């Protein structure tokens, strides 16, 4: 069964450092999502791509976060500089028709 791949699974970084996460969606899925999930809360959408174009990044803190999906396949989410409050699980999901989303295992970020 096809899955969404994410790496790394865990990342520990010091505040003010740069950090990047990678996501490879299910083959053929045009829509890709990045979510942030703080412990005890549900996932919150950070950015949504349709192919290589950003559809929604209204909740992305653009002063420090950036995301790209240059070829419309895999995607990278970057934080620079990282802050203590960025500690969370970062989830990637993909969908074929903007409805049912398939989630990857996530990257757990700890900022010290």
Partner 1 sequence: AQSVSQHNHHVILSEAASLELGCNYSYGGTVNLFWYVQYPGQHLQLLLKYFSGDPLVKGIKGFEAEFIKSKFSFNLRKPSVQWSDTAEYFCAVSNNDMRFGAGTRLTVKP
Is 1 a residue that touches partner 1 (CB under 8 A)? no
Q: Site residues for partner 1, window 60-89 (CB under 8 A)?
A: none
Calpha distance 10→105 (Å, rounded): 10
Please give the size of the binding site for partner 1, defined by CB under 8 A. 20
State in angstroms the smallest separation of the CB of 109 from partner 1.
16
- The region of 11-19, 22-30, 33-41, 65-73 touching partner 1 under the rule CB under 8 A is 33-41
Give the count of alpha carbons within 13 A of 48, CB side only: 14
Element (H, E) at 65: strand 65-68
Is 56 a residue that touches partner 1 (CB under 8 A)? yes
Is 100 a residue that touches partner 1 (CB under 8 A)? yes
Calpha distance 101→112 (Å, rounded): 32
- The region of 12-20, 35-43, 60-68, 78-86 touching partner 1 under the rule CB under 8 A is 35-43
Calpha distance 44→78 (Å, rounded): 16
Closest CA to 88 of 103, 106, 65: 106
Is 106 a residue that touches partner 1 (CB under 8 A)? yes
Binding site for partner 1 (CB under 8 A): 33, 40-45, 48, 56, 91, 93, 98-106
């Amino acid at each position: 069964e096809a899955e969404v791949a994410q790496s790394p699974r865990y990342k520990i970084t010091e505040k003010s450092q740069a950090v990047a996460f990678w996501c490879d969606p299910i083959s053929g899925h045009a829509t890709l999502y990045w979510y942030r999930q703080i412990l005890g809360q549900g996932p919150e959408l950070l950015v949504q791509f349709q192919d290589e174009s950003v559809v929604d990044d209204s909740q992305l803190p653009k002063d420090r976060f950036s995301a790209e999906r240059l070829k419309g396949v895999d995607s990278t989410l970057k934080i620079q500089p990282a802050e203590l409050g960025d500690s969370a699980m970062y989830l990637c999901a993909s969908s074929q028709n903007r409805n049912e989303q398939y989630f990857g295992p996530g990257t757990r970020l700890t900022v010290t």
